[in-house]
């Protein structure tokens, strides 16, 4: 299983929210590049970089941070937050992202998302499927749509999507364990997707549970920053 540490950015700083609530925000570092270098030095190959200012502003904001990390590390970066227009996608890829995660636009403008999949290639686009109580949420998780998670993912598999990042918002930042059963059900229904689990990871045991459930990848955020999972453990898991 690919272990993907997350760096969430507000005002150029490394932060974490709880359940996506911008009012419950904790800063862990003023230097995201330093954090990214720590991951690289530990042998980690992937990074999930989230522009929380962009998600709230509905356009990319922290692209200088993306460019800095992409320039000074060899990490494979997937970037999300604020990808609302073609220019946002082009900026992210131009600043060094290997992949972009698109969520709200995939919900609100499916015809645009379909164009991007065709033009930029499915290998560069991850479908962001962020759900609260089984319904897809958009715009920095501030709004819930009427779309069912399963239907949303299924519709985009038909359009060529092969990579899906699924966050259970109720689990995010809570350190109470991931939604293993939800991911198991999704993999049973869509066995060919590269499903990235996000939200709730609190320990190495949680990562083992996700791996045993067949998850090809999992994001680690708050558990690392709060010392529940050490850098050495992430390094060891990344080498396996």
- Structure confidence at residue 168 (pLDDT): 87
> Structural domain of residue 209, as residue ranges?
2-239
Indicate which residue of 51, 53, 88, 130 is catalytic: 130
> Structurally, how many domains does the chain consist of?
1
CATH no. for residue 34?
3.20.20.70
Per-residue pLDDT of the chain (240 residues; tens, 9 = 90+): 999 999 999 999 999 988 778 889 999 999 999 999 999 999 999 999 999 999 888 899 999 999 999 999 999 999 999 999 999 999 999 999 999 999 989 999 999 999 999 999 999 999 999 998 889 987 666 777 789 999 999 999 999 999 999 998 887 766 789 999 999 999 999 999 999 999 899 999 999 999 999 999 999 999 999 999 999 999 999 877
Rounded to an integer, what distance in angstroms lies between the CA atom of residue 89 and that of residue 9?
A: 18
Cβ pair 140, 22 in contact under 8 A: yes
Read off φ and ψ for residue 3, nearest 5 degrees: -100, 120
User: Is 74 considered catalytic here?
Assistant: no
In this structure, the dihedral spanned by the alpha carbons of residues 176, 40, 103 and 110, taken in order and rounded to 10 degrees, is -150
> Of 8, 51, 53, 168, which is the active-site residue?
8
pLDDT score for 141: 66
8 is catalytic: yes
């Amino acid at each position: 299983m690919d272990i993907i540490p997350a760096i969430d950015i507000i005002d150029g700083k490394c932060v974490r929210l709880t359940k996506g609530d911008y009012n419950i925000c904790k800063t862990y570092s003023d230097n995201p590049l330093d954090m990214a270098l720590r991951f690289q030095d530990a042998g980690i190959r992937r990074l999930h970089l989230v522009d929380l200012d962009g998600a709230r502003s509905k356009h990319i904001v922290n692209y200088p941070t993306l460019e800095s990390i992409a320039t000074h590390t060899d990490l494979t970066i997937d970037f999300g937050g604020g990808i609302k227009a073609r220019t946002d996608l082009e900026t992210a890829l131009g600043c060094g992202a290997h992949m972009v995660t698109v969520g709200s636009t995939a919900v609100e403008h499916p015809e645009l998302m379909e164009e991007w999949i065709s033009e930029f290639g499915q290998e560069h686009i991850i479908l962001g499927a962020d759900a609260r109580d089984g319904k897809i949420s958009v715009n920095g998780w501030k709004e819930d749509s009427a779309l069912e998670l399963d239907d949303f993912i299924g519709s985009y598999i038909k359009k060529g999507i092969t990579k899906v990042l699924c966050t259970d918002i109720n689990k995010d930042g809570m350190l109470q364990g991931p939604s293993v059963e939800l991911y198991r059900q999704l993999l049973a229904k869509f066995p060919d997707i590269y499903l990235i689990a996000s939200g709730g990871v609190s320990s190495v045991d949680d990562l083992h549970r996700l791996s045993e459930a067949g998850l090809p990848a999992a994001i680690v955020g708050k558990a690392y920053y709060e010392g529940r999972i050490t850098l050495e453990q992430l390094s060891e898991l990344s080498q396996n």
